[in-house]
Structure 1
Amino acid sequence: MTSGTSEALLAGIVLLGSCVQWLTGMGFALVAVPALVLLLGPAQGVVLANCAAGAISVVGLAGGWRRVRPAAMVPLCVAAACTVPAGAWLTRRLPPSITLSVMGALVTAAVLLVMRGARVPALRGSRGAVVAGAAGGFMNSAAGVGGPPISLYAVNAGWTVREFVPNAQFYSVVVNAFSVAANGVPELSGTRWAWVSGAMAVGALAGRALSGRIPEPLARRLVLTLALTGGVTAVGKGLWGL
C-alpha cells in the first residue's frame, strides 16, 4: 500500500467515525477502531482512537455540560481510572494477532449486547455504575471502545437520549484522557496528523448537516452494523495471523 493510499484510507476512517459521533452522540470508536487497528496495528490504532474520540467529545460537551449528572459520573469515572492501566498493560503484552482477535471479540460482543438492549440487574444503581465504569475503562484502554458498557448502564438506568449524550461525552473525555496517559500518543508523521485533523473537521460538518435529516433509529442501526462488521473482520484477521 502506497503512502498516499494509506493516508487517504486513514482520513476516510476518521472522517466516517467523526461524522457518526456528531450524528448520534457516540460511535466514533465503534466504527473507527476495527479499521484503524487493521490499518495502523493494535497499539497505534487504539491510541489514535482515544485521542480522536476524546477531542470530539470535548467539543461536543461544550454545549451540553449543564446536563451532566455528577452523582452518576463520579463512580463511573473513578472505576474507569482503576481499570485503564490493566487494559493498557494487556495491549502491550499480547502478540499483535491475539490483541487483534481480543479487540474484535470485545467490539463484537459489546455491539451485540447493545443491539439487544440487554437488561442486566448488575448494571443498576451505584453498583451498576462501578461495574459499567470499570468495564468501560478496561475496554477503552485495551481496545479503544469504552462506550458500550456505558450505553448498557444508561439503558438499565432508564436514561433518555437527551440525558445520555452529554453524560456519555463527559465520560468519554475523562476515560480517553486516562487512556492516552496510560498508552501514550500515536506515533504519526506530521502529514498524517494533518490528514486526521482535517478529516475530523469535515466529519463534524457532515455529521451536523445530516443530523436533522436521518432518523435517529436508522442512524443507530447503521452505526451498530458498521461496528459489528468491523469487529468480526478484526477477529478474522487476528485468527488468520495466529
Structure 2
Amino acid sequence: MTTNGWPGDVLLAGIVLLGSSVQWLTGMGFALVAVPALVLLLGPVDGVVLANCAAGAISIVGLAGGWRRVRPGAMVPLCVAAACTVPAGAWMTRQLPEPALLLVMGGLVTAAVLLVMRGARVPALRGTKGAVAAGAVGGFMNSAAGVGGPPVSLYALNAGWTVREFVPNAQFYGVVVNAFSVAANGVPQLSGTRWTSAVTAMLVGGLIGRGLASHIPEQRARLLVLVLALAGGVTALGKGLWGL
C-alpha cells in the first residue's frame, strides 16, 4: 500500500520524525518503530531501504562522540557475519509477493521485540561464536526487514554489557550493516519532495529526542519504543494476512 501526494509526505515525515526521536532518546529504536509503518506506506522494498538509509545516517552522527568505546574484538565477527547474510535478505525481498513480505517482516519485528522484552538469556550468544551468530541473524534481518538491532541487543545482554558500552558498539554495527544493506538493496525510489520530508523530519526528530533525553527516564523510554515496535509488527502481520 502506498499513499501519494501531500498526505503521504506528511505521514512519511511523521514516521521518520518519531523514529529519529526515539533513536536519539534511547540509543536504539528507529528501525523497530519506523519499519512497519514505512513498509505499509511505501511498500516492502522502499520502506526497508529508506529505514536502512536513515538508521545508518543516525548511527554515523551518534558514533562521532563514542567511537573510542567500540570493541573491535566483538564488532569484527559481528560485522563480517552480517556482511555474509545481507545478500540473502536482499534476495528474499525481491522474490516474495508483498503480502508474504509483510508477514515475514511483521513476524521478525514481533518476535525480536518479544525476545528483547523478555531479556532472553541464550548461552549460544556468548563469546566469538555468539557474535558471529548475532551478526549473521542481524544482517539477514536488516536487509530483509530493516530491523537488525535486536540480535545485537541480545548478544550485548548475554555478554553483560552496560548501556554505556552497548550504545557506541550498536551505532558502529548500525553504520556497517546499513551500508551493506543499502549496497545490496539499492537506494529507495522516492520523489524529491519525499526525500526532503524524510531528511527534515530526521533532523527535527534528532533535536526533539536530544531535548527529551534529560526529562524521560531511560527505562520508560525503552519500554515505549518496544511497545510501539510491537504494535507496528502486529499491524504488519495483520496486513499481510489480510492480503493473503
Number of the residue aligned with 1:164: 166
The superposition leaves residues 3-28 of structure 1 with CA deviations (integer Å, 9 ceiling, x where unpaired) of: 11110000000000000100000100
Structure 2 segments unaligned to the other structure (5+ residues): none
Q: Does 1:47 align with 2:49?
A: yes
Equivalent residue runs for 1:158-197 within 5 Å: 158-197=160-199
The superposition leaves residues 5-58 of structure 1 with CA deviations (integer Å, 9 ceiling, x where unpaired) of: 110000000000000100000100000000000000000000000000000000
Q: Does 1:123 align with 2:117?
A: no
Q: 1:103: Cα distance to partner?
A: 0.2
The superposition leaves residues 72-110 of structure 1 with CA deviations (integer Å, 9 ceiling, x where unpaired) of: 100000000000000000011000000011000000000
Alignment partners' CA distance in 2, 1:222 and 1:216: 10
Q: Does 1:223 align with 2:225?
A: yes
Q: Does 1:78 align with 2:80?
A: yes
Q: Does 1:98 align with 2:100?
A: yes
Query: Letter of the aligned partner of 1:129 in structure 2?
Result: A
Question: Between Structure 1 and Structure 2, how many residues are aligned?
Answer: 242
Q: 1:233: Cα distance to partner?
A: 0.2
Q: Secondary structure at the match of 2:216?
A: coil
Number of the residue aligned with 2:59: 57
Query: Letter of the aligned partner of 2:74 in structure 1?
Result: A
Query: Letter of the aligned partner of 1:12 in structure 2?
Result: G
Q: Secondary structure at the match of 1:37?
A: helix
Equivalent residue runs for 1:127-142 within 5 Å: 127-142=129-144
Alignment partners' CA distance in 2, 1:217 and 1:233: 24
- Runs of 4+ more than 2 Å apart: none
Alignment partners' CA distance in 2, 1:143 and 1:198: 24
Q: Secondary structure at the match of 2:94?
A: helix
Alignment partners' CA distance in 2, 1:47 and 1:146: 12
Query: Letter of the aligned partner of 2:159 in structure 1?
Result: A
Number of the residue aligned with 2:33: 31
Alignment partners' CA distance in 2, 1:103 and 1:2: 23
Structure 1 segments unaligned to the other structure (5+ residues): none
Alignment partners' CA distance in 2, 1:121 and 1:91: 31
Q: TM-score, normalised by structure 1?
A: 0.99
Q: 1:167: Cα distance to partner?
A: 0.1
Report percent identity of matched pairs: 81
Aligned-residue Cα RMSD (Å) equals: 0.6
Alignment partners' CA distance in 2, 1:2 and 1:191: 11
Q: 1:2: Cα distance to partner?
A: 5.2
Q: Secondary structure at the match of 1:93?
A: coil
Q: 2:211 aligns with which of 175, 200, 209?
A: 209
Query: Letter of the aligned partner of 1:207 in structure 2?
Result: G
Alignment partners' CA distance in 2, 1:220 and 1:44: 27
Query: Letter of the aligned partner of 2:30 in structure 1?
Result: F
